[in-house]
Structure 1
Amino acid sequence: MKLSALVVARNEEARLPRCLAALSFADEVVVVLDRSTDASAQVAQSAGARILEGAWAVEGDRRNAGIEACTGDWILEVDADEIVPPELGALVRDTIAASTADRHQVRIDNYIGERLVRHGWAGSFGTTSKPILFRRGVKVWGKQRVHPSLRWTGTEGAKITAHGIRHEVDADISDMLRRLDRYSSLKATDMLEAGDIGSLPNNIRRFLSRFFKALVSRKGYKEGGWGLLLAFCAGLFPLLSHLKARLEPERHRP
């Protein structure tokens, strides 16, 4: 089985070297560079990757372009801030050699700085597993700028949990808050384009339910103050997106 590793990036010259070096177990590496102005292309070329450069305003479109560029029977889709350890690479090869399914969830180990934060990821602000290993042709991303929807065909196999991807999601608290600001702005644009920004009461309810889910249901309380921060960001994401679309439509309209 031929395996393609797909990396979608924008101005990631600092993180691409470690990400790409960890993908040597793949038969080919495809790097999609979206409006990159730094040395990302040179880094990818030096690593022996095939490069697809362009400009995509919508995340789903750029990810679909990358999937179409892959030639493998199976695709492993990772981001520039994710590192696949050797043990997981070997497990991925074993999985695709034996699998009769069409896709598999893979465990994600999220790091804030050097701290592994296992609990509290929820509400479109983070996840502990993603469906990133799949046969070519079964996965299509939706046309959204942030957290695009997914359309699948085929069957889902067993989740890969013995080893996980190292996801260096945030450098520190300030980086986490900048991510919240960036994500909510993109979500506001998506909602304005769709003509549905929701209501304030509903988004207040979503704040409370997502805060509870992250802190209690997803056991964020086990992480102390970090879990509290994650619960706050998970709950605030839909509410802040709504408020940006409602109060500042001229700033976020597509």
Structure 2
Amino acid sequence: MVRLSALVCVQSGDAHLSDSLRSLGFCDEVVVVADRCTGGPSEVARQAGARIVDGIFPLASHRKSAGVEACSGDWILEVEPGERVDRALAWEIRAALQMRPAGDWFELPIDNYVGETLVRGGWIGALGPDRGVRLYRRGVKSWAADGEAVLSGISAGRLTGALRRSAGADVAALVEQVGRLATAQAQRLADSDRPGALPVALARGAADFLRSYLGRQGWREGRLGFLLAVLTALHPLLAQIRAQEILEARRLAHAAEAIRPAPLRRVAGARAG
């Protein structure tokens, strides 16, 4: 039997973790990396019987690398907190691994839902990837400092079943999710002390809008596709501005600490007055 590990990286603001963990019962082990989590997510993972890696990870690459190191399986299935594996995909994954594939990694499609509506076009980046290398042999996937995945070996193909990802219960939840993603990205930028420049964020936002609306055919989704493109464009801008705010707050805190007067010490034997 090929041993399969599931890897889930979670932060304190992530929802749907319990649904994700329930869908991973077909795996031999589940490893949850809890980044700066207090209470909620860690307790959910503990109750589900997952192995927990607690810590503070400045970058997504640190988080995922720590998770891979904790996995003991021959293969790793990487799942985000808002994603679920249905029974058909679980069976397909197990069948593919038992056939001893010649390749080293599989690409999995990702179906993104807003509420109960499947939205196929317009998804890019952190807001909603529509595919990704999520099933791979242990040791063939790593991450660069900027979070980009680095693969070794050769592709084993693409599975037909898709991960089901919840992008939000409705449009309002989708907008809130963009804010959370931007805040998390801002924290990572501030921790690395590289918030970037505003013109660069604006240029990236414009490029992401075109990529979402035209390149990924968001226009096919009507008004929702246009909204996805706008939110995608706003993400780097919000992250850059928030990162600058975090760094400025830290500088002010350090400056206040530096000018704080030292506490007075009473000299032994000295007279009062």
* Shorter-chain TM-score range: 0.7 to 0.9
List gaps (5 residues or longer) in structure 2: 252-273
1:40-63 Cα shifts (integer Å, max 9, x gaps) = 344333333222222323222122
Percent identity over the alignment is 35
Counterpart residue number, 2:168: 170
Q: TM-score, normalised by structure 1?
A: 0.85
Counterpart residue number, 2:50: 49
| Separation in 2, partners of 1:108, 1:65 | 24
Correspondent of 1:216 among 205, 214, 234: 214
CA spacing shift, 1:14–1:184, aligned 2, 3 Å: closer
Counterpart residue number, 1:229: 227
Alignment of 1:50-89 (within 5 A): 50-89=51-90
Counterpart residue number, 1:151: 150
Residues 7, 78 of structure 2: 8 Å contact kept = yes
Counterpart residue number, 1:126: 128
Counterpart residue number, 2:266: none
| Separation in 2, partners of 1:235, 1:176 | 14
Across the two proteins, how many residue pairs are aligned to each other?
Answer: 248
Residues 220, 230 of structure 1: 8 Å contact kept = yes
CA spacing shift, 1:190–1:10, aligned 2, 3 Å: closer
CA spacing shift, 1:116–1:218, aligned 2, 3 Å: same
> Residue 71 of structure 1 aligns to a residue in which SS?
coil
Give the letter for the 1:157 counterpart.
A
Bigger Cα Rg: 2
| Separation in 1, partners of 2:95, 2:154 | 18
| Separation in 2, partners of 1:190, 1:44 | 24
| Separation in 1, partners of 2:52, 2:222 | 42
Residues 14, 81 of structure 2: 8 Å contact kept = no
Counterpart residue number, 1:141: 143
Residues 112, 172 of structure 1: 8 Å contact kept = yes
Give the letter for the 1:197 counterpart.
G
Q: TM-score, normalised by structure 2?
A: 0.79
Q: CA deviation at 1:209?
A: 2.8
Q: CA deviation at 1:29?
A: 1.4
Counterpart residue number, 1:31: 32
CA spacing shift, 1:252–1:189, aligned 2, 3 Å: farther
Q: CA deviation at 1:203?
A: 4.1
Counterpart residue number, 2:110: 108
| Separation in 1, partners of 2:16, 2:239 | 28
Give the letter for the 2:221 counterpart.
E
> Residue 175 of structure 2 aligns to a residue in which SS?
helix
| Separation in 2, partners of 1:42, 1:205 | 41
CA spacing shift, 1:216–1:158, aligned 2, 3 Å: same
RMSD across aligned C-alpha pairs, in angstroms?
Answer: 2.6
| Separation in 1, partners of 2:174, 2:15 | 18
Residues 188, 197 of structure 1: 8 Å contact kept = no
